[in-house]
Structure 1
Amino acid sequence: MGSQYRNADRRDRNSRALIIHPVLQAEAQTRSPEACLEEAAGLARAIDLEVAHARTVKVNRPQPATLLGGGTVAELAALVADADEQGEPIDLVVVDHALSPVQQRNLERELKAKVIDRTGLILEIFGARARTREGQLQVELAALSYQRSRLVRSWTHLERQRGGFGFIGGPGESQLEIDRRLIGDRIVKLKRQLEEVRRTRGLHRKARARVPYPVVALVGYTNAGKSTLFNRMSGADAFAKDLLFATLDPAMRSIRLPSGSKVIVSDTVGFISDLPTSLVAAFRATLEEVQSADIILHVRDVAHPDTEAQKADVEAILKDLDIDPETDPRVVEVLNKIDLLEPAERDAVLVRNGGAAAVPVSAVTGEGLDRLFEVLDGHRTAGRQVIDVDVDLADGATLSWLYARGEVLDRRDDEGQAHLRVAMEPAHLARFAGMAGQAARA
């Protein structure tokens, strides 16, 4: 590839990137081009790229060879060359759209700079952020599936010691051809390992069902504040930062609600528009936690100008998981970042988002958390009744029955008696009343 990429792998400074968001006239636009461009720039900054230039470009007719029109390509090539002459070279061009392998190769030849598309950028972020073994397996599977369809300059993930997958930079400058058979073998192995992860998660879910503590899953658009809310609710210290995809690895903590009942809160990976299909498939083990959750909190950044479009993107992914936000009673909207809104704006936001059905909160200040806990309590105890009952400590069968069919909210033992406060479904409560009546007659 020669000297045209001489700056791409320098680590003594942040790589400088040119961000391009193509606006294809033939594609329906659900959000403004400016907002899409800012999101793409945010993705670049999430892995410490310096955004040298960012611009939208209109594409009236996508070109099979380069996606972009010939005039646009020439302008971009001149911009890259001019930056190089001024001693501030552009190391990377990010095209915020899917590129075919041929388009990527041709753009690199024309621009004389490394080019990656939206999928490559997201995969690079995921590769740099995954910390747990499960997360690394999932990201590597997605990256390999992506790589299998194209030739790659420096696919050397097995020898790399840092995060990422080499789409942005790698240890070498030569164009390498990947052995498809080796990639295929690795994919088979990763799928086998992830199937074991799924099996283990399934066993964990069964174990939690026997406790039984309900699972509350936090979902939402990336950077909506899920991890900050998770920390605020649980007192944990999960990584939370104003970055896209700050959280990749799921985390779980138990919390106690005002009623005394416990729930397990699960933080999950953020969603994003045009999330690569390979990533959705690779993160299936994690997303199954959402599918099996008892309560799903859809955390939204209501201060974001594109909050409605972000909501639509999240709901589309939930529907892909067979969860319909409009009809599934488990889904609760949490309107986060209200601390960034003026009082009048807050009222308007509530009116637009279902009034009392949505819960406004600020994960940063803690405002609204009491109301959120009350809503969780309401979902947890809907249709159940709470009773106080005294059971002889020697009556192990009754104690076991109460723990198996109800939720023991409180217990105090003294003088041979267990004093329990139990939440129970009406059917179980009626059966318990019958059992108590029979015991009294006996």
Structure 2
Amino acid sequence: MNLEIITIGNELLIGQVVDTNSAWMGQQLNKEGFDIVRITSVQDTVDAIKASLDEALSRVDIVLMTGGLGPTKDDITKQTLADYFDSKLVFNQDVYDNVCTLLKGRVKNINELNRGQALVPDKCTVINNPVGTAPVMWFEKDGKVVVSMPGVPGEMKHAVNNEIIPRLKERYETQHIIHKTVLIFNIPEAVLAEQLSSWEETIPGYISLAYLPSPGKIRLRLTAKTLDDSKAHKDIENLVKSLYPIVGDNIFAEEDKPVHQLLGEMLKKEGKTIATAESCTGGYIGHLLTSIPGSSVYFRGGIIAYENEIKERLLGVCKNDLLKYGAVSQPVVEQMALGAKKVLGTDYSIATSGIAGPDGGSEEKPVGTVWIAIAGDFGVISQKYQFGKMRERNIHRSADTGMVMLFQQLTNSLR
């Protein structure tokens, strides 16, 4: 079953607020077998809202909308929808009681703007919003459904999970949508596509393939839309198995999870700890590792050794090696990794030292030159990389690459 999402708000169009609602709804609805065919963001204007509805309803049977339901004059979605569905606003006691309950103790008196939240179109089904003052409105016309929800993410999520998805599934029959993502590192997209050209010809017609590239890695996603999920799972599993003889050394994982989460899960499972020694990445690896709840079980800390003096004093890097080889070198990054492991008392460590850019490079060591080392019971392993000229990309690729190096080393040692 196909549907569209419309998000309303000038703040979305000028970049003041990022539209996270659509991405979240897309994920949840897709899991339940709904196909999202288009996502549109429109201005807070009557014409824009009505035009977007006309276009969406010409293509699909279900439209989900968020935004523009607040109590202030700039929130015009409710009145616009009332006009669109030839409806009039009427007072709803249940909504008003909910508003009073939510605002009790927060305001002295319910003013006219708050009371206005209880005015709803008389041709909609009102769905109570126990976590906000704006109700959810469900419209039906000519066999099609339009649902308007608050734009506040927490309120929207509550409505989708507890009301919208259950109601839609009662009304519509959905198919199984199965995704399988394979994470591949260090192969350019065009090169990978060439390597997989023959493999792609073996993909059954009901399964689609997508290349989702980002710096240094590609997510290869297989998607099946079917009523027979057991056959689809088997076909996809066989396709993934047949990838290994072609690009097996570059396959990092068969899960659509970020590298730092996969590494953290492995460390937690094995009861191991990690530390970081970062120069060019400036603490980014530590930030990623600690962005996962429960990371304190395996992450003990990190040292941001930007200055050579810090590399010497805190990590025990040899001054003569710094003078002879420079900070961006194999001897230095290896000593950084070993120093972090020793000082912080961990099982493993990752160290980075490089030239992130945009300046600071030389003919011998151009911008984007990065040395990465990992240390553990296997000793110390280091590798030189040349990532390019873009600073932010170099930092992100260095962080991902360091964690991939350690993850693959641990994976191989556990086999």
Regarding TM over 0.5, the answer is: no
Normalised by the size of structure 1, how large is the TM-score?
0.29
* Structure with the largest fraction of strand: 2
